[in-house]
Amino acid sequence: MAGVRTVVLVLCAGLVAVLLGGCGDGGEPGDATRAIADLLRQRSAAVRDGDEAAYLGTVDPRSGPYRQQQRTAFRNLDALPLAAWTQRLDDPARDTVPATADRTTADVRLTYRLRGYDTGDATAGQRLEFVRRDSRWYVAGPAPGSRPQPWDQGPLAVVRGTRSLVLGAGHPEARLRDIAAVADRAVPDVSAAWGGAWARRVVVLVPASQAAMGELLGAGPTAYAGVAAVTTGRHRDRTPADRVVVNPEAYDTLGTLGRRIVLTHETVHVATRADTSPATPLWLSEGFADWVAFRSADRDPRLGAPELARAVTAGRLPQDLPAAADFTTGGGDRVAVAYGEAWLAARMVADEWTPDRLVALYRAVGGAESREKAVGPALRAELGVSLGEFTARWRTYLDHELG
C-alpha cells in the first residue's frame, strides 16, 4: 500500500498546477486563485448583462477614486454595441495566489467584440491588483504601468457613422461626427481598391490628447508627436479587430484633404490585416496604403512626396527600396522620403501593370512563409520581374515622375 500512497501523492502534486489546488493543504492557494477567477467571471457577466450594481460589487469598496472611475468605465461600456465580453486570468498556474496573501497582482486577458464592426475578437492585456477583505476578493485597481483601455480614460462619447464607430474622450460630439464623416468616406474608397473579405466598417478611437494616445498604445506622452493617426496591431499579428487611433493634436493641424488621406491610409491597414504578415515589407504595406489614399485624392507625385521630389531633382536618386528602419529613424526628411519611395513603388505597379496586379502582389507577399521567400518570388509570379529588375524600373519611374 505504501507504493500506492506514493503514486497518489505524486499525482496530487502534479494536478495542483492544473486544478489550482484541491489536494490536501495545497488547496488554499488554488482556492484563492479560483476565487479571483470567479470574480472576473462575475465581472464579465455584469458587463454583458448591463448590471452596474453587480459590476461595482467586484470593485474594492475602499478603493476611493478607482471605484468612481470604474462606475464611469461601466457606463462607457454599457454604451458600446458589445457582442461579447470576457475577462479571465491570463495564466492561472503562473499567478497562483499564496494562501496567506491579502493583496496580489495578476495578468488579465480581455476578449471582446463590437457587434457589426469586428469580424473576430479583440484582445487586450492588463495587470490588475486584487485585494481580499473579509475573506472576499475584489479588484483594487490597475498595477503600475498597466495600459488603459479607451473606456478607462474618462467619459466616452460614442458616435455611429454609416460605416464607422467613433469613440472619443474629452471631445465635443460635433468634432467626433466630423471624424466619422471622414471615416465613412474612406471605407468605400478602400473597398473599391482592395475588395476582400473585411468588415467594411472601421472603429476610430479619439483619446483626449496626444499623451492619452501614448497611454493607450503603451508609449510615452510624446511618442506620437506629429503622427496624425496609427492603426493598432499593424505588422504584428492578424487580428480581425484593429482600431484606428487618432492623435487629436496632430490631426487638428491637417486640412480637409489631409484628414481624408490620413484616415483612408489607416483604413487600408484595417482592411488588409488578414493579408499582412511578418513577410510583408513596410515599403509594400505603407506604399499600398498611400496609393489608395492618394488615388482617391488624385494626388500629384511632387505634391504627395515633396521631400523625395527635392532629392531626385537634386540628383539623389535612391539605389534601393526603403528598408524598415527608414520608416522610423534616420533623422531629417528620411522618414518622409521613405514613405514617398514606398508610395511611388506601389503607384508604379498600378500604372505599369494594373491595380489588380498590385493587389495580387500584396496578397502573394503576405501569404509567404518568410520575407526571404516572399518578395522575389511574388514579383516574379505576379509581375514577371526579379527584385533587381523591379528596383531598376522603380528608379527610372522616380526619375520620370519627379526629376
> Which sequence spans correspond to the domains of the chain?
23-147, 153-274, 277-403
Name residues of the chain where pLDDT drops below 70: 1-30, 95, 99, 233-241, 330-332
**Per-residue pLDDT at 200:** 94
Q: How far apart are CA 160 and CA 343, in angstroms?
A: 31
Strands 82-89 and 164-169, by their bridges, are unpaired
pLDDT of residue 262: 96
Which pTM was predicted?
0.87
Query: Looking at residue 239, what is its pLDDT?
Result: 54
pLDDT per residue as tens digits for the range 118-158: 988 999 999 999 999 998 999 999 999 899 999 999 999 99
Q: Which pLDDT belongs to residue 236?
A: 43
Task: Return the CATH architecture of domain 153-274.
Answer: 2-Layer Sandwich (3.30)
Calculate the alpha carbon distances from 85 to 45, 95, 121 in Å: 8, 22, 9
Cα separations (Å) of 191 from 32, 73, 224? 50, 34, 28
Q: Torsion angle of alpha carbons 168, 141, 122, 111, nearest 10°?
A: -140
Q: What is the DSSP string of 340-396?
A: HHHHHHHHHHHHHS-HHHHHHHHHHHHTSSSGGGTHHHHHHHHHS--HHHHHHHHHH
What is the per-residue pLDDT for 18?
Answer: 34
Q: Is 14 helix (H, G, I), strand (E, B) or coil?
A: helix
Q: What is the structure's pLDDT at 342?
A: 98
Answer for the pair 318, 339: CB distance below 8 angstroms, yes or no.
no
Note the pLDDT of residue 25: 32
Task: Name the CATH superfamily, with its identifier, for domain 23-147.
Answer: NTF2-like; domain 1 (3.10.450.100)
